[in-house]
Structure 1
């Protein structure tokens, strides 16, 4: 029996790993020194900046490289060629570290709103443009995932399994309630969703609906089903299929947005 592939670390896990690397004092101070230098720095310079040996500095610098915070190459400082091996130098990468527990994706929401402003069409109001932009982005993400994974025909169960991977990366904390129903335990857009539930929950719903369309999942739809402290959207059976696995007393897809975020 084939086993599922091992789970890959998401952006939040990588950010936590990077922060843990910077918890060591000498390492953190060297990283700050290299960022301020605005040029490639040698091991000797990095070691001198915190008063440790060159060998110990090399250990810490390589940890920062492994974490994706620095990049290393061989170069002669000042560009002067000398006999022998060029020294190893270090400089910052473009990595930005943001850690939020639970995960928040305010940058995605801001990007969607920017798209809406820049592409607003004649006859659209701001809210309609925002919903359209969110649905189009979701469809693009779904189509890209389909091209990458080539999953073939996706019914409800396999479709939701595919959805889980992306939704986990986006911070939704998906939980499989039944084989054909997925609950999203975290709202990546909180607390903004609480301030403007009709707009933010509507965009979230449009984004996830577009994603299902782009991924071409059959028999599954995104429904507004807010629960306290969770995402306002649930993924489950489409019209005419709900009776097969409805949970008695479960959340209704006709609930108004905003009560869960």
Structure 2
């Protein structure tokens, strides 16, 4: 079997890690100070804002950088500094961090719906355009996963395994029911899915169908199988009986 490139942590795990860094009070106060400053902040300024040493402030600031909450760069030239390196300064990172348990991905759904609205053809309904866009996004992701994993020939079980990892990263909470059947315990688009089940379930089905096509996992199919409190789609071996 071809080796696979290591996958980055899921966005949900990364968000939880980032937020957990703010559990330390001094770190949280310095982060708030940097955000409110609206300009690059030096270690000395951050240290003074919470009344600690520059060395301890540097430790906490670097933790905030590692977690993706701040970014650091050198500031210069500094006329007051006659010798030595230019001081490091800190600013808020551009990333927006959201934590939801169970995971919700409303921004993804909104982006797909906006793209569908902007590209809707004269012969399409809104729901058809949304399904088309979702299928295209899924197919692109499946193609990217196939290029990354280089899986060779995909049987049903291998195809299910690759899909399981992607679905876990996206918050669907996949659970195996046998080697070639995958239930999805969470819908990342809830509660919107409850308000428009035909639209959202159709997009979910189109997205996963497109992903399988891009992955070329011909032995696996996405089927509508709604259950209360779960995603309306599950994955099965293509020749598996329904029910």
How many residue pairs match? The answer is 241
Which segments of 5 or more consecutive residues in structure 2 lack a partner in the other structure? none
SS where residue 71 of structure 1 aligns?
strand
Aligned CA distance change for structure 1 residues 178 and 6 (closer, same or farther; 3 Å): farther
Q: Distance in 2 between matches of 1:169 and 1:192?
A: 20
Q: Distance in 1 between matches of 2:15 and 2:65?
A: 14
Matches within 5 A, 1:97-108: 97-108=97-108
Instruction: Note the alpha carbon deviations across 1:180-203, whole angstroms, 9 max, x for none.
Output: 111111111100000110111111
Equivalent residue, structure 1, for 2:157: 157
1:115 aligns with 2:102: no
Q: Does 216-225 or 77-86 show the bigger shift?
A: 77-86
SS where residue 104 of structure 1 aligns?
coil
Equivalent residue, structure 2, for 1:47: 47
Are 2:5 and 2:149, in contact at CA under 8 Å, matched by a contact in 1? no
Q: Distance in 1 between matches of 2:217 and 2:39?
A: 49
Equivalent residue, structure 1, for 2:237: 237
What RMSD in Å do the two structures reach over aligned CA positions? Answer: 2.1
Equivalent residue, structure 2, for 1:141: 141
Equivalent residue, structure 2, for 1:209: 209
Q: Distance in 1 between matches of 2:26 and 2:146?
A: 45
TM-score normalised to structure 1 length = 0.86
What displacement does 1:6 show? 8.6
Structure with greater contact order relative to length (CA < 8 Å, sep ≥ 6): 2
What displacement does 1:74 show? 2.6
TM-score normalised to structure 2 length = 0.92
Q: Distance in 2 between matches of 1:74 and 1:7?
A: 31
Equivalent residue, structure 2, for 1:172: 172
Equivalent residue, structure 2, for 1:255: none
Instruction: Note the alpha carbon deviations across 1:31-50, whole angstroms, 9 max, x for none.
Output: 11112222221110001112
What displacement does 1:76 show? 3.1
1:11 aligns with 2:11: yes
SS where residue 223 of structure 1 aligns?
strand
Matches within 5 A, 1:46-125: 46-76=46-76, 82-125=82-125
Equivalent residue, structure 2, for 1:29: 29
